[in-house]
């Protein structure tokens, strides 16, 4: 038997690829994962670790493009569109603009809500049954407002949507928020509390997934940079990497923001762009927030763990430009200082950047390709890769094993983009 051949070859060892691997292995499939770095070294590493059924609302809302266009002149804006010319990004923006309608907003929100809610329950079950060491806590997510205007906007476009989707959200007065969170500075106007959200330390969660994949007999090839795809007819017959050649009866593309780059070798134009995010990780401050929270005016996410404290978020569309943008890091610090009594921990551990895989309709792409007979996709999860990972793994395993999926796969199918 060819030692480099597997039943399923998964391209990408982030939280999505590892979740797919684990669920396939549990069904008796031989799996190999190809990862160009180490497991979870991309966006799976530096995100804020919130598990958020509350984040059903997509960015594709009327008015979003106008906000992005105005941000061209503000490099520290929470949503920033770099003004440099980029034809691929322009095509994506035009497609995104066409989907900024209330009808598309509702359709995407329903699809996101279904996978987010299923994933929340599947992840909790996995963490408990396998006793995963990832600082998982189910204690909700708090939105904090210092202005009536921001609260009113979120009431109409966020809270009322969650009401329609039957996702719990609680409206709080400012004094109730301050009593709930002594770490906040005075002057809170109001809050929204999402009691069914959770948090974990994402790098530890991914490390635990990698451990489970190994324990179930899966193989993870680290440092395996993909160089070329070999095809014959409508099949992918081999993958050439820096470590050698590999093949699989089925190939799963779980490369996150790198998916469009590899897709070009297959003649696929994936409607995705990298959305660059940033985070700062500290040792835990003495007066750390009790809950994960979002300071809504500066759009800063704050997560506390026993082992540390992280500020994160922001969305920068600069194509595949690499590197840390200090202006964005400074904006996170300023935003945290506006709302928190102790906005930074005693010791800076890491300033991080990473690309989120943003689809043009804000819905992930999961399912079989219509153009390649043995290609399956699991990508474009945007800012919600960790939150959607468990349900994505379940769905991919159900599709490849021929069993009934736990959620309707139709909204996520690559066929909607003729992929």
With respect to CATH, is domain 4-417 assigned 3.50.50.60? yes
Cα–Cα distance measured from residue 341 to residue 89, given in angstroms and rounded to the nearest whole number: 39
Which is nearest to 351 in space by CA: 320, 322, 382, 330? 330
The mean pLDDT of the chain is: 94
Give the whole-number percent of the chain exceeding pLDDT 70. Answer: 98
Within 10 A of 305 (CB to CB), how many other CB atoms are there?
20
Q: Where are the alpha helices (DSSP H) in 155-194?
A: 160-164, 174-180
Contact 150, 192 (CB under 8 A): no
pLDDT digits (tens, 9 = 90+) for 385-408: 999 999 999 999 999 999 999 999
Rounded CA separation 153/80 (Å): 20
pLDDT attached to residue 2: 55
- Mean pLDDT over 230-255 rounds to 96
Confidence grade of residue 79 (pLDDT, cut at 50, 70, 90): confident
Using an 8 Å Cβ cutoff, are 141 and 291 in contact? yes
What is the model's pLDDT at position 318?
87
Place of tokens 């395993």: 397
> pLDDT for 19-55, tens place per residue?
999 999 999 999 999 999 998 888 888 999 999 999 9
Domain boundaries, the chain: 4-417
Does an H or E element contain 15, and which? helix 15-26
The rounded percent of the chain whose pLDDT value lies above 90 is 86
What confidence tens digit (pLDDT) does each residue in 287-326 have? 999 999 999 999 999 999 999 999 998 888 888 989 999 9
Report the greatest alpha carbon distance in the chain. Answer: 68
pLDDT in tens, 108-166: 999 999 999 999 999 999 999 999 999 999 999 999 999 999 999 999 889 999 999 99
Predicted confidence (pLDDT) per residue in 169-184, tens digit: 999 999 999 999 999 9
Q: Are 15 and 40 in contact (CB under 8 A)?
A: yes
Q: How many CB atoms lie within 10 A of CB 288?
A: 18
Chain segment 315-361, per-residue pLDDT in tens? 888 889 899 999 999 999 999 999 999 999 999 999 999 999 999 99
Q: Residue 330: helix, strand or coil by DSSP?
A: helix
């Amino acid at each position: 038997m060819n030692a480099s051949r597997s039943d399923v070859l998964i391209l990408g060892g982030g939280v999505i690829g590892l979740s797919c691997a684990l669920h396939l292995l549990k069904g008796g499939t031989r799996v190999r994962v190809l990862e160009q770095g180490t497991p979870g070294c991309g966006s799976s590493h530096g995100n804020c670790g919130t598990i958020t059924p509350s984040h059903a609302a997509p960015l594709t809302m009327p008015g979003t493009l106008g906000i992005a266009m105005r941000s061209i002149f503000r490099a520290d804006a929470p949503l920033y569109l770099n003004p440099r010319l980029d034809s691929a990004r322009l095509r994506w923006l035009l497609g995104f603009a066409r989907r900024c309608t209330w009808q598309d907003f509702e359709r995407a929100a329903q699809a996101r809500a279904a996978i987010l809610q299923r994933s929340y329950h599947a992840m909790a079950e996995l963490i408990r049954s396998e006793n995963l060491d990832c600082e998982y806590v189910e204690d909700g997510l708090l939105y904090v407002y210092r202005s009536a205007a921001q609260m009113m906007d979120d009431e109409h476009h966020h809270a009322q949507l969650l009401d329609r989707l039957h996702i719990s959200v609680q409206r709080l007065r400012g004094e109730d928020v301050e009593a709930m969170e002594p770490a906040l500075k005075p002057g809170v106007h109001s809050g929204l509390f999402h009691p069914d959200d959770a948090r974990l330390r994402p790098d530890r969660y991914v490390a635990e997934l990698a451990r489970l994949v190994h324990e179930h007999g899966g193989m993870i090839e680290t440092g395996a940079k993909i160089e070329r795809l070999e095809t014959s007819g409508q099949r992918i017959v081999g993958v050439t990497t820096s470590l050698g050649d590999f093949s699989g009866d089925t190939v799963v593309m779980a490369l996150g923001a790198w998916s469009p780059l590899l897709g070009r070798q297959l003649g696929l134009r994936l409607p995705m762009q990298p959305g660059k995010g940033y985070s700062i990780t500290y040792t835990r401050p003495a007066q750390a927030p009790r809950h994960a929270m979002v300071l809504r005016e500066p759009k800063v996410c704050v997560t506390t763990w026993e082992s540390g404290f992280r500020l994160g978020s922001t969305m920068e569309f600069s194509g595949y430009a690499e590197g840390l943008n200090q202006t964005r890091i400074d904006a996170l610090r300023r935003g945290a200082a506006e709302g928190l009594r102790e906005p930074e921990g005693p010791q800076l551990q890491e300033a991080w950047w990473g690309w989120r895989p943003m689809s043009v309709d804000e819905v992930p792409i999961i399912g079989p390709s219509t153009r390649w007979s043995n290609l399956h996709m699991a990508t474009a999860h945007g800012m919600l890769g960790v939150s959607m990972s468990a349900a994505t793994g379940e769905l991919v395993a159900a599709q490849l094993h021929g069993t009934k999926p736990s959620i309707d796969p139709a909204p996520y199918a690559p066929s909607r983009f003729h992929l």
